[in-house]
Amino acid sequence: MKAKKKTKQRERKSDALIVYCAKYSKRPKLASVRLDKKLVNMINTCRTRDKKLELQTLITTSMLREKVKHVLGEPCKYCGTILDHNNISLDHIVPLARGGNSSEANVQFICNICNRQKDKMLEQEFKQLKELINSFSEISRIYVNRKLSMNGGHYDLSKGTQTESKEG
């Protein structure tokens, strides 16, 4: 009985996201359920990381549900990839390692590849690096982007150059 109630509640919450998932997905219902699970995981990851650093987690899942609506189907601010429930990730604008915290003002949604590449960089540093990389020849650009994306250790090299295709 209780579990049923919980499932229903979760479905209702993901229902609110369906209309936004419909912007890019042919199966918005499924996309919204997956997205909602992802948001819950994001909060849990934040809590774990914050706890280690003895920081308070100031964002909540409902906060993220509201925030995500504005970026779904929109381009990643750094590379232009359209953000969806598969590639979206939560970035600390000022990284925790650089004194940032998990507050609404300090988190943003970007694509998972840019998030891995940005790592412990500040926004300005990452933008400068992206600009520099974009001035390289195509081969060098692909090579450097790939190397940077390997940070975190789970980048699938066989998938190749998905970040570069959307860039100029």
Residue numbers at the binding site for Zn ion (CB under 5 A): 76, 78-79, 81, 111, 114
Residue nearer to Zn ion on the CB measure, 39 or 76: 76
Residue nearer to Zn ion on the CB measure, 71 or 111: 111
Strands (E), the chain: 88-92, 107-111
> Residue 23, SS3?
coil
Shortest distance, position 110 Cβ to Zn ion, whole Å: 5
Contacts of 117 (CB under 8 A, 6+ apart): 126, 129, 145, 148, 149, 151, 163
Q: Which two tokens stand for residue 166?
A: 């959307």
H or E segment at 91? strand 88-92
The answer to whether 46 touches 61, Cβ cutoff 8 Å, is no
- Residue 121 C-beta-side C-alpha neighbours within 13 Å: 16
Residue nearer to Zn ion on the CB measure, 31 or 111: 111
